[in-house]
Structure 1
Amino acid sequence: MESFTEKWFGFQPEILPEQFVGRMLSARSTKTFADTDAANMAYLKARERLLNVNEWGAYTNEALADFQLVDENGEKVSGKAAKGLRIRIDIPGPGTFEGEGFDWALIEEMEEDAREDLEYVAFRVRPAANPEKKKSEVAHFYNPQSTSTMVVYRDDLSVTCAIYDRNLSANTEHTTNLADKMRNAVVGNLAASGLSGVQWQALVDALWGEMA
């Protein structure tokens, strides 16, 4: 399968950016099943839960934050993750002025492939502007070079849920609001130092649902 590359940390999708600046974090959870039918069922369930972004907070008992898919105008979307949709993120504590209390991200790339013994779905998220405002400043605690790549894959009888954060740094350059700069410096550095990885681990562990 050309779309998949085996690297130092299991299988990773081609849409995963190279690490070139800042910090990187990864969260991963793998289960191995007795037969192909059980592995397929587990993959399909984890895939469904990964794409159901609006329920991420419920899956983790709000250990992460509240996530809401929206369209390019900021209107709520009830469906599943798709390229071009935004994610409105409500994390504990104060939000940004530019984001009107929220952090915003764009699902900028998505891929999916399958064959008999290997299948996966993945999408990449990047900090973005508040779609409800005309200004183009990034409204997120991370710099726009930072990304999160979410993936669920089945390799024969093993199913893995993983999130890869790459090129993490606080967003202090892509906003002109002083309060936002200060807030992003604190939140962004805490997240990049490891808090984001802890929270993402809670999510990948929760994607199994009742199988956990």
Structure 2
Amino acid sequence: MKPKKVPGIPSQVSGGYHDTESIQKIQNIHEIDSKFNILKDRFFNINEWGSYCVKHTVEFNHCDPSGKLVQRSPQIGDYINILLTKINNPKVEDYQWVQIDMIDNTNPDRLMIQCRPSKLPGNEFAGKTVHFYSSGSSSTFIISKGKDYIKMSIYGRNEKINKDAGFISNIKNKFFTLTGMTGSSKIQWKCIADGIVDIK
């Protein structure tokens, strides 16, 4: 199966990819706007994303450009760190770090946040990418609405192992990337997308 061609999503050139989509059909069309507003609130509250996936332990932290945890709508240049498994007293390097490089809210029916693996905040011009994928990969999160549905999508493109992370980190990156390619990371993304879009 080829990757979907979606407006605003980087072209797939090489490496792995995934297309994760979750749709909630809405029978009463008069509820679409109100449910989409709830979805927008969830979408922009990044710190709570992990709570919508009850089957897997995933933690998301929204940080400003200095790396400080914040509770606000995301902005270009902000960071998100992600803890994929529960760890007692995790170190900063135990997280997967991405930086938001694009936000598109020009279409009221479709909102987008795009991230790329990053170095630690404050180390934009030094240090190593702290993520199991290389900086050339991308993750794009989109919410949208139609005549009878609301939808959350997550698209990964050009996912390659980050080989520039030090010896121990390289071993971990290979492990995470291989398990991701066999479907475990897609299962986590699907769980999160399903949970966020599930609005009663």
CA distance in 1, matches of 2:29, 2:105: 19
1:121 paired with 2:102, answer no
CA distance in 1, matches of 2:15, 2:43: 26
Q: Over the residues paired in the alignment, what is the CA RMSD in angstroms?
A: 2.5
Alignment map for 1:23-38 (pairs within 5 Å): 23-38=16-31
Q: Which residue of 2 aligns with 1:131?
A: 121
Q: Which residue of 2 aligns with 1:179?
A: 168
CA distance in 1, matches of 2:57, 2:6: 23
Q: Which residue of 2 aligns with 1:18?
A: 11
TM-score, normalised via structure 2 length:
0.87
Q: Which residue of 2 aligns with 1:206?
A: 195
TM-score, normalised via structure 1 length:
0.83
Shift of 1:141: 0.7
CA distance in 2, matches of 1:169, 1:18: 14
Aligned-partner residue type, residue 111 of structure 2: V
1:152 paired with 2:143, answer yes
Q: Which residue of 2 aligns with 1:193?
A: 182
Secondary structure of the residue aligned to 1:207 is helix
Matched positions, count: 196
Structure 2, unmatched stretches of 5+, are none
Q: Which residue of 1 aligns with 2:102?
A: 109
1:168 paired with 2:159, answer yes
Aligned-partner residue type, residue 122 of structure 1: M
Q: Which residue of 1 aligns with 2:33?
A: 40
CA distance in 2, matches of 1:100, 1:164: 24
Structure 1, unmatched stretches of 5+, are 1-7
Aligned-partner residue type, residue 113 of structure 1: T
Question: 1:48–1:77: structure 2 CA closer, same or farther, 3 Å change rule?
Answer: same
1:69 paired with 2:67, answer no
Shift of 1:205: 0.5
Shift of 1:79: 1.1
Secondary structure of the residue aligned to 2:135 is coil
Describe the superposition over 1:155-203 as per-residue Cα deviations: whole angstroms up to 9, x where unpaired: 222221111111112211x22x100111111112211332221111001
- Percent identity, please: 22
Shift of 1:132: 5.4
Secondary structure of the residue aligned to 1:42 is helix
Describe the superposition over 1:117-143 as per-residue Cα deviations: whole angstroms up to 9, x where unpaired: xx1101111100011557331000111
